[in-house]
């Protein structure tokens, strides 16, 4: 497994690099945001938020927007507002300095397990009453007709599909799709949802509003249960 360590403190970086390599990880080091964003693809990023050339929160958002690489924020910012801001920027976990090596390794293992599980899930199809969603290829068809969606529209639909028929809260959709707070994007979500339903045509009725809560992808009339994942 390849890890990108983004840390400007040489002493901390050397200690972490040694510990990670002793546990079998391949480590690439970046000392600033520019190097981190120019680095080749890896399996996980350990990101110090206190970088000399750019806010680490912005770097986290950009890294996640490039393909969803898992990110663990490693920082001295331990107050609750800082942790919330870090997680909402797209970080999969948040570790406050100082920390023990054993704890960090355990968190890395947990995040990598979730990432591998998610990638495996995304190789499958979700089929609901003529609506087919290829999560791996990011393709959607309705009754065999290809439907062209924007990136955000597909991410909304995929999030609802992965929920297996359960309702997904509005604030969770905003955080996962836009990596920002719900209040700032509430109207934007409404617009994207209306456009998504319009593009899906008659299958747009499968995307149902749960008043005062969020949305769900439901089975159509005469069907029972939620979305079916091919191969399960």
Residues 183-200, mean pLDDT to the nearest whole number: 90
Does the global pTM surpass 0.85?
Answer: no
Q: In terms of C-beta density within 10 A (0-12 exposed, 13-18 middle, 19 or more buried), how is residue 51 classed?
A: buried
Supply the mean pLDDT for the chain: 85
What would the two tokens of residue 101 be? Answer: 């090596």
Res 147 pLDDT > 90: yes
Res 231 pLDDT > 70: no
In angstroms, how far is the first alpha carbon of the chain from the final one? 28
Give the C-alpha separation, 125 to 129, whole Å. Answer: 13
Res 182 pLDDT > 70: no
Three-state DSSP at 197 gives helix
Location of each CATH 3.40.50.2300 domain in the chain: 2-121
Res 113 pLDDT > 70: yes
- Nearest alpha-carbon partner for 33 in 20, 44, 43, 47: 47
Say what percent of the chain tops pLDDT 90. Answer: 44
Residues 171-184, mean pLDDT to the nearest whole number: 78
Residues 150-172, mean pLDDT to the nearest whole number: 88
Residues 101-111, mean pLDDT to the nearest whole number: 89
The confidence band for 91, taking pLDDT boundaries of 50, 70 and 90, is confident
CATH number of the structural domain 125-229? 1.10.10.10
Torsion over CA: 8, 14, 17, 20 (sign): negative
Location of each CATH 1.10.10.10 domain in the chain: 125-229
> Pairing between strand 71-75 and 44-47?
parallel
Across 124-128, 201-205, 217-221, which has the greatest mean pLDDT?
201-205
The confidence band for 83, taking pLDDT boundaries of 50, 70 and 90, is confident
pLDDT for 223 equals 34
- Nearest alpha-carbon partner for 200 in 135, 137, 156: 156
Q: Could you name the CATH architecture of 2-121?
A: 3-Layer(aba) Sandwich (3.40)
**Cβ(193)–Cβ(156) under 8 Å?**
yes
The kind and range of the H/E element at 140 are strand 139-142
pLDDT tens sequence across 11-66: 999 999 999 999 889 999 999 999 999 998 888 999 999 999 999 999 998 888 77
Higher pLDDT, residue 124 or 211: 211
Distances (CA, A) of 99 to 20, 55, 76, 212: 14, 22, 10, 40
Cis peptide before 161 (omega within 30 of 0): no
Res 222 pLDDT > 50: no
**Cβ(63)–Cβ(36) under 8 Å?**
yes
Give the C-alpha separation, 230 to 232, whole Å. Answer: 6
Give the C-alpha separation, 143 to 183, whole Å. Answer: 36
């Amino acid at each position: 497994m390849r890890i990108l360590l983004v840390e400007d403190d040489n002493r901390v970086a050397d200690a972490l690099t040694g510990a990670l390599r002793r546990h079998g990880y391949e480590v690439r080091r970046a000392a600033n945001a520019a190097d981190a964003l120019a680095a080749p693809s890896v399996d996980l990023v350990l990101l110090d938020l206190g970088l000399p050339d750019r806010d680490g929160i912005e770097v986290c958002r950009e890294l996640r927007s490039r393909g969803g690489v898992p990110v663990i924020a490693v920082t001295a910012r331990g107050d609750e507002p800082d942790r919330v801001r870090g997680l909402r920027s797209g970080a999969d976990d948040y570790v406050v300095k100082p920390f023990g090596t054993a704890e960090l390794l355990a968190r890395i293992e947990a995040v990598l397990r979730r990432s591998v599980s998610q990638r495996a899930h995304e190789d499958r199809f979700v089929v609901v009453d003529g609506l087919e969603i290829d999560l791996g290829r990011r393709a959607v068809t309705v009754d065999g007709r290809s439907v062209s969606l924007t990136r955000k529209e597909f991410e909304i639909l995929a999030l609802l599909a992965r929920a297996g028929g359960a309702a997904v809260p509005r604030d969770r959709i905003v955080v996962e799709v836009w990596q920002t707070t719900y209040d700032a994007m509430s109207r934007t979500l409404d617009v994207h949802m209306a456009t998504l339903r319009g593009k899906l045509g008659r299958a747009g009725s499968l995307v149902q509003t749960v008043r005062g809560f969020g949305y769900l992808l439901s089975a159509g009339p005469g069907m029972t249960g939620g979305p079916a994942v091919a191969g399960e």
